[in-house]
Each structure stands twice: as C-alpha cells, then as structure tokens.
A and B are shown apart, each in its own frame.
Chain A
Amino acid sequence: MLILNCPYCGVDAEETELAAGGEAHLKRFGPGSSDDEFHDYLFMRENPKGVHFERWRHANGCGKWFHAARCTNTLEVFGTYTAQTSEPPQDIKDAIAAKRPGWTWREFS
C-alpha cells in the first residue's frame, strides 16, 4: 500500500485514497493523426522495471489528478507533481538522476 503526497492538498495519502491512472505524459493524437500514431497513443504503454511516471487521482480526497515519479522495482517515490505539465519538472528529474545515476528523461530502463 503506497503512500503518495498529493501536491494539491498536501496530504500524504495512502493507496486506498488514490486511483491509479496509468502512464503519465502521453501525447494525445486526435483527428488527422495516422493510424499508427493513434494506435500507439491508445494502446502502447511503457512497462519499465525502474523509473516510471504515473498518473494518480486523489479520488477519495481532494479529487485532483497529479503525477508521481516512482521506481516500479523498489517502490521508491522520487516525487509527486502537478498533472498540468507535459514533462516532469526539473527538481523531479534532478531527484531521479541523483538516485539513479545515468538516468535521462524519456529513456525508460
């Protein structure tokens, strides 16, 4: 049972308060996109053993969506941050790089 800090209301929320929403930072492809682009957007997801970015909703709390940077292997949480961004903020990237030397954004390991 994970504990994630909700960056909106500041609560350290346990998993029963949260709803998982899959991979974060997907780029939406709508009308005008190719079949392959749309297919990948709908169905293809990263499944790393290691650093991952996820969408969570504080469903039984303030109701806000946020993002979490997490290690799927050790369950270490590098940080949570706003969902209103298309890529992780610098402090989150720095926190990950400090703990996982050699890690770079968008290279899943």
Chain B
Amino acid sequence: MSTRLAKQGRLIDRSKKVTFTFNGTSMQGYEGDTLASALLANDQMMVGRSFKYHRPRGVVASGAEEPNALVGLGQGNRFEPNQRATTTELFNGLTAISQNHWPSLEHDIGAVNTAFARFLPAGFYYKTFIHPKPFWKHVYEPFIRQSAGLGKAPDKDSRDADTYEHFYAFTDVLVIGGGVAGLQAAKAAAASGAKVLLIEQSAYWGGRAPVDGGTVNDEPVDKFVEQLVSELETMDNVSMRSRCMGAGVYDHGYVLGYERLTDHTPGVQGPRHRLWRIRAKQIVTATGAIERPLSFAGNDVPGVMLASAMRDYAVNWGVNPGERVIVATNNDDAYRTAITLKQAGVDVLRIVDARATAGPLAEEARQLGIRVDPGKAIAKVKGGKRVKKVAICNQEGVGGAREEVEADAVAMSGGWSPVVHMWSHCGGKLTWDDANAFFRPDPSRPPLGANGEGFVLAAGASNGALVLGDVLTDAHAVGKAAAKAAGFKPKNIKAPVGETTAEAPMEAVWLMPANAEIQLRMKSWLDFQNDVKVSDVQLAAREGYESVEHTKRYTTLGMATDQGKLSNINGLAILADALESEIPKVGTTTFRPPYTPISMGAIGGEARGEVFQPIRQTPMHNWHDRNGADWEPVGHWRRTYAYVRPGESVHDAVNREVKNTRDNLGLLDASTLGKLIVKGPDAGKFLDIMYTNMMSTLIVGKCRYGLMCSENGFLIDDGVVARIDKDTWLCHTTTGGAERIHGHMEEWLQTEWWDWKVYVANVTEQYAQVAVVGPNARKVLEKLNAQAGGGMDLSKEALPFMEWRDGKIGEFDARAYRISFSGELSYEIAVPASQGQAFWDALFEAGQEFGVMPYGTECLHILRAEKGFIMIGDETDGTVIPQDLGLHWALSKKKEDYLGKRAHSRSHMADPERWKLVGLETVDGSVLPDGAYAVGEGVNANGQRNMIGRVTSTYFSANLGKGIAMGLIKHGPDRMGEIVEFPGTDGKTYKAKIVDPIFFDKDGEKQNV
C-alpha cells in the first residue's frame, strides 16, 4: 500500500493539514501536496479507468506527462473534467471525482470490454461501423457518442463563474522552463543586459535537480537553485513567472504562455487564468526531459510508476508508493530511485536491469543491500486494481522460466526523452541520438524567424544533456548565445561547475522481454489513456500502415489528452521494428501546441458576454429601446425589427406598421445605411468602374440607383448615389456593406488605379438618417418648416423624385434625398449625428396629427417586396448576377469597362438556363417557406428530385392580405402564370403561381406625387 513516509517531503508543510474529497470520501493531505501525492498518501492507488477497456488506472507520473490520473474537479459552475491530478495543487475543500466508469470506480460495467480486448483491436471502429448504412443513425452513432470522451462535459446550462485575461509581453529573451537549465540560461542571458522573461509551469523553481541531487560549485544543488533564484529576482531586467506554462511557439517569435493564477487558491479575487501573448527575439527552451515507461505485460496496473515519479513522490511529498518495490530499468538513473527509497526505509526487493552491466550506482545500491539482477526483465505484473505479484524472466527470449515475486509497486525506467515540443512547434527539426535512444533538437535546423535566422535554442535536458554538469555548461552557453542573437553582448562569466557522475550507457529496450510472446504483447501498454498496446501497433504494421502519422490515427496512439508524452517514442520504436526499419527513418508525429490542454476561458480572455463584440448603436438607439424595439442584429449594428406595443405580438406589430406606412406616415431609422464620400478629379471615372451603371454623367443635385459587381461578375452591393458637386459623390451602401465596400474601393484605388486622384471616406456614422415615408411625409416636413418659419422647399417641383437638396428642415441642418425603397412618397433626411435624436423627436411630435408611427426592418422588407425591389443578401447570395434579377437596365452599354463587365460575357453567365427573378404567390394565399426549393421533372444522379429554383424573399403582406414572395426560377419570366411546387421541411408541398414581382402600385403612382 502507498502511505506517507515519516520524514521527507521538501515541498509539503506537515504543520498545515488540508482536507479534500475524492469520489465523496473525505481525505487529508498537506499544504504543498498535489492532488496526486495526496491521493497516494491516502492509499488511493486506483484513480480512474482507461478509455477503451475501462482498465483500472493509477498515477504513473508526477507532472504534465500524466496520462492516467485525470479527474473531474470542482462543482456546479466551476466543474471541469479531465484535470491532471499530478499538476493540481491541493487546497482545502477541493472536490475530485474519477472518470469513465459506471456505476463506480471500484465496480465498472464497462470493464467487460477488457474481456473482449482481443475482439477490440486497433482499427476496431473502422472495421466494424461500416455496414449496413441505416445502422449509422440509430445504432452506431448513439453507441459511439455514448462511449466517446473520458470526463463528463459540464452541465450545458452552467456558465463559467471565473474570469480570464490576456496579457501582452515583449522581451529580448524568453526562457521556457525554470529548472536548473532555465535558471542558468536566464542568468547568462540577463548578464548581457537583455530583457529576460523566465516562465515555469510548476509552482517551484529548480525542476527535478533537487530531487536527483548532486552538487554545483561543491554545494548541494538545492542551495545553488535558491541562490540563483534570489539573484535573478533582484535583477531589474529579469521577470519570472511560476505556474506559467509555455503552451506553444509560433511564427516569428510568438509564444503563448498559460498562467494559472488562482487554481490553487479558489475564491481569491482576480482572473483565474492569464494567457500571455509574448513576442520574443530569442526563445530558450529549457523544458527538461520525460522518462519513458517500459513495455512489459501489465505495465498499466495501478502501482506501476515511472522510476523518476516514484522518486519525486518520496523526496518532494514524503509519499511512499509501495512497501515492497521492484525497479525495472535499462539505464543507471533508475538506481537513484532504488537508493532513495531504500534510504527512506522502503523495502526495495530488487533492481531488474535489462542490461548486462550497470555503472557505479549499482555498486552503491548493492552496498545498501539491494539485489541487482542484470540481464533480467519483467515478464508480467499481476494484479487487477493494484500490483500483487511480479514475474521476472530473462530479457533475452520470449518470457519463459519466470520467477514470481510478491510486490506492491513497480518503478520502471525506459530511458529519457527530451521535451522537444517547443522546439518543434514552429518547424525545428530533430536528430536521433543513438547512444541515448532519443530525439533531440538538431541545432543546425532550428525554427526560422523573419530574418531567416533561428529564433529558438534548446538548453539542458531538453537539448539532450542529462547529467547535471553537462546541463549547466550547456544552459550557460545557450543563455549567452540567445543574448547575442537578440543583439546583446554577452558577459564573459564562468559557467557553474556541476557534478558529473559517471554512468554506464543505457540500452534501448523497446519490449520486455525482447521477444515477448503474443499473450504478453497484448498486455504491454504503450498508450495508457487510449489503451494502445504493443500488439495494436504491430497489427497496424501488418495491415500495411507504414506512415507514423497514419498508424497514430489508426491505433489512436498518442491521441489522448496527454498527446502521447509517454507513449510516442515507445510506439514509434515498435512500429520501426515491425516495419524492419529504423526509428529516425520512421520519424515522429507532429508536435502541435498547446503543450498541455489550456482552458477555453484563457483563450477567450475578456471577450465574453457584452464585451465579446462591440455593438454599434445609432443616435436614436435608446429611443427605440424605450419604445418596444424588438432587436435584430445587422452586421455589428442593432436595428429595430419592429416596435412592439403592449399586448401585441411581433407579427401584429409588423402588420400594423406595414399598413400605417402605406396609409399615413412611417418613420424609419436609416442611419445604419453606409455612406461613402468619393471625391477627387477622377472620382467620376472611378465610380464608372465601381458601378455597373454610369455615374460620371450624374448631374449635381440628382441621385441614381447603382449596382456593384465583383470582378467575377456577381452582385456585391447596391444603393443610391448622389452627386454633391463637380468632384464629389456620396454613395449609399447596404447596412452590412459599408466597411466592406469602403475596403473594396480602397483596394482597387490603391492596387490597380493608384494614379487616379480620388479619396474615399466612410462617413456612415457622421449622419443620422431618417426615412419619412407615406402619404403624409411631405405634410409633416412642411409643418416643421412652418413651425420654424422657413426651410427648404419640399414640393414636387422643387425637389423631384431622385433628387436631393441641402438646407434647413425646421431647426435642423438637413440633406433631403427624395428616394423611395417603399414605393411611397418618401424623403430620406440626413442630419448631423448629434442632431439625430432631436430631429426624430421633432418628427414624432409633429407627426402625431398625421398618424405617425416608427417602423422597423421587417416592415421595410415587406414594403420593398410588395414593390419587387431586390435586397442584397436575400435575392443575392454571391452567385447571382444583375441579369438574373432583370436588372439589365442598370448595366451600362456605353462604358468600355467596369468591374464585372468582362465576367458577364463568360459562357455560364450568359447561359439562358440560369434561374431568374419572378414573383411567387401561393394558390391559397399562405406564406411560402423561406429558402424553399422548387422541384421540377425527373431526378438527378443521386435519386433526388431535380431543382428548378428557390424562394429568396417571402412575407405576409398585410396590405394585400396574402403571402407574397420572390424567387429565382429556371426560365421563370417565360413561365408567368404556371404553378410550381415547393416541398417544405414540414413535409407539406407548397404550390405557388409565377407572377410579376411587382405586387403593389405597378405604375409607381404613389411615390410620384
């Protein structure tokens, strides 16, 4: 059983007890514990179940690489699944639950999968869930969904109760990792005067050096770390952040740091996580190395742990992971674990060393009375929910002639792999180090920055230096090199001298025993979380998978939340062996950020709720809000869909507004319409290119409706253009199009016709614009003039249709456009934005006797549809050309060129089979479903009915008392009066007659008064 040792525990404070719960059971730990160390101290060997076979799983590692000890943390709005117990700092009141089991961790129905393991090999899903097709929806998909995912998703109605923030930082040298290498590199770089930022993912400095021991400058290494940290803390050009992980390295020296501010002190004010967005001239990765498991049968049983992790638990947290421990290794480092445990009073039964000979540490172990078995291997670990027995055999051979030993914990070490993630994220290449059997950064092929030079350097263990002395020498040199590359002159100070213990070479051991029989290989785990075994990778190779990337996806090796930190190299070696190839030839899978999962909250930062996106408001926004506005988002604007009165439905309100505007007087806030000023000696020429119609000939004081196409001929916007003076035009765009069309004009001006003398300015927000619409429109404006004792002449003669005038209306500085999107007598009046609300109020007050009502966008839509006016975004969708909409009249034949002209002569554009605009009326007066497709004769190659058109706009017209619609129909204009069928998504088929799209006042008598 695992217990707390009487002594040891450099990171815990035994005077401060901490209470927490695991699966509802109250447990105790100490301040400084991780959740993993506290669970082990409470003999909680089993902490979860694996993904596929629901095998019992225990803590296997002590840091970010942990694949097994994933728990659900917190409750309610603070619940989070899949949190690593090894990197979770313990606090009072922590609640954790284990995952992937039912009904309980101890008794799990899903564990039956392990009995069928031989029927659930690699690629099981691909092989099984294929036929029959109808099974997909009702059998396979529900089954796969049920078994997918490890932890439970938070409740869908819960909202994250914490806050998060982004933080921008710029530095000369960024050092990722605060172990001895990172600290020394930071110091060497900072001595040059360079600005240095040092980040460390854990809560403490020094990495694993204080656990591994040794001396620096003849002092114990932990003293050296202490001195170095306090030295760096006093330097003004050095910033240090612990609990801040380097998450990813990106192009041109961009790095994301993930700082966990209050995970360990819940309830403290302030953001929970902070996302650091760092730009560094040079990056030093001092990210250490991760120990590899050994592949032997039963290496996944709770109680089997990495040797280094077992040492960490003993030294850092005073936890003894077992009472009778066996150490299995292929290198000298694991002897340190045996020695540490033995000195702590643990019974270390023996060291099983796959090699024939070990280094001096073996002698030290023997002197402590530990039995060392060279050339031996673990054949199998027995036990279900914890280790019970260990069968030992010769490393050479298939695993016969076993000797069984009773034990309750196994420490394993298959060698070390440098953490090369940060080096690799942005394209740094690796080289295979045969002596140490690992990939390390290839310094000749670093990630390249904007200047074509490398911008990442690896230091210490992450650079392949494993011995303390080598680590410090390397880190010192790299720190200086980073400062130099960042443009600083490194100081010529001496590197600290670290102890260099002689070690015997490690031997690559990818399978234990070397020729293990199939029964053993089927129980030798590579990926603990996703349940990928040696036999699965070998099967994939037999089935023809040669690429490591394909094998990864087929077997799911390394695809779990730990991204294969423990499993990738071991799996790769098995694949290389099965392919009779070499590891460097097979290569690694791609290292992608983030290094470990980071919270969505941190990614979002402050951008949530109201500040997620700024909302644009017109000057009259608050009036609308007070007067029943039902809001509709249009771009970043909010526009009133309808003004709903008490007791009315939205539909009622729309119908009321539609009738009133035609019968009396309606006011529309049209301020959101885009307004672009185009000015300059070449402005007319420029607009002739931008619009399909001729704008240069427009007379000052007049307006013209214009269409804009993209270079490939499709309609992109429309609007009324007014000529202000000789050199100036004002172009109205759609509400959503103002910024886009402004950009479109700028693009052509700057990149194609850059010698034309034209300026474009977007003045949309400078004006409040009100459409005064209806038979009483002129009356209300004239009343305002009368009240003020003057103002512009608004008569039919003085301001005819499609003209504009500047002047006073009442008290207001106005520009009145006599234009109509409704077919009614209509003035669109622009006043300075600052006068908008007062103007609106004045109109509203003066309009009372004329039956004034404000109207919203839905009423606007219905009025324009009654008149057959098209709307960009309804009748157009990026595939529609003016000819489809019967707008030939707006395509200039006189102009040699305009955007879209050449495209309109392409064969498909001139095709008579194109769908064309028509009006549609249901035979029973009902409203056609929006977007419904019209079906014709016959079926297509997929057996679906042939489509011959679609509905583009559809409304109930209160003025006409029936549904009206527009649509694009094949040969539509030639089929007037014919009935077309529209199957709805509700199962009904709607029948509609093809009619003229102008439903109301065909001769335009109402607007021409």
Q: Could you tell me which A residues sit within 8 Å of B by CB distance?
A: 1-3, 14-15, 21, 28-33, 35, 38, 42, 55, 57, 59, 63-65, 71, 74-77, 83-84, 99
Contacts and interface: CB of A to CB of B under 8 A. Distances in A.
Given A15-B251, A71-B452, 7 more contacts: A1-B252, A21-B747, A42-B712, A74-B452, A75-B251, A75-B448, A76-B451
Contacts of A32: 902
16 contacts: A1-B251, A2-B252, A3-B252, A3-B253, A3-B279, A14-B279, A21-B747, A38-B903, A42-B711, A57-B743, A63-B746, A74-B452, A75-B252, A75-B448, A75-B449, A83-B754
Contact of B448 (A14, A35, A76): A76
B545 interface: no
B750 A3 contact: no
A26 B907 CA distance: 23
B454 to A, nearest CB: 10
B219 interface: no
A76 B750 contact: no
A33 B451 contact: no
Interface in B239-255: 250-254
Contacts, number: 70
Contacts of B747: 21, 57, 65
B636 interface: no
Contacts of A65: 746-747, 750-751
A25 B969 CA distance: 40
Contacts of A75: 251-252, 448-450
A39 to B, nearest CB: 8
A32 B896 CA distance: 9
Contacts of A42: 711-712, 903
A77 B73 CA distance: 46
Contacts of B252: 1-3, 14, 75
Contacts of B743: 57, 59
Nearest to A63: B746
A3 B751 contact: no
B903 A84 contact: no
A23 to B, nearest CB: 12
Contacts of B751: 21, 55, 65, 83-84
A64 B750 contact: yes
Contacts of A15: 251
Given A2-B251, A65-B747, A84 B901 contact: no
A28 B752 contact: yes
Interface in B406-459: 427, 448-452
B152 interface: no
B509 to A, nearest CB: 38
A10 to B, nearest CB: 16
A77 B754 contact: no
A61 B240 CA distance: 32
Interface string B885-897: 0000000000011
Contacts of A2: 251-252, 450
Contact of A30 (B448, B450, B746, B897): B897
A31 B254 contact: no
A76 B902 contact: no
A30 B251 contact: no
Interface string B730-751: 0000000000000100110011
Given A35-B906, A57-B747, A3 B450 contact: yes
Nearest to A35: B906
A60 to B, nearest CB: 12
A8 B793 CA distance: 47
Contacts of A14: 252, 254, 279
Contacts of B448: 74-76
Contact of B250 (A1, A21, A59, A76): A1
A47 B427 CA distance: 20
Interface string B688-715: 0000000000000000000000011000
A64 B752 CA distance: 13
Nearest to A100: B452
Nearest to A82: B754
A77 B450 contact: yes
Nearest to B739: A59
A1 B750 CA distance: 25
B746 A38 contact: no
Nearest to B747: A65
Contacts of B754: 83-84
Given A2-B252, A63-B746, A30 B901 contact: yes
Contacts of A76: 448-452
A84 B251 contact: no
A31 B897 contact: yes
B750 A84 contact: yes
Interface in B272-315: 279
B290 to A, nearest CB: 28
A30 B279 CA distance: 44
A61 B258 CA distance: 28
A63 to B, nearest CB: 7
Contacts of B253: 3
Interface in B41-97: none
Nearest to B710: A42
A14 B254 CA distance: 10
A66 B817 CA distance: 38
A94 B707 CA distance: 45
A44 to B, nearest CB: 13
Contacts of B450: 2-3, 75-77
Nearest to A70: B450
A84 B746 CA distance: 13
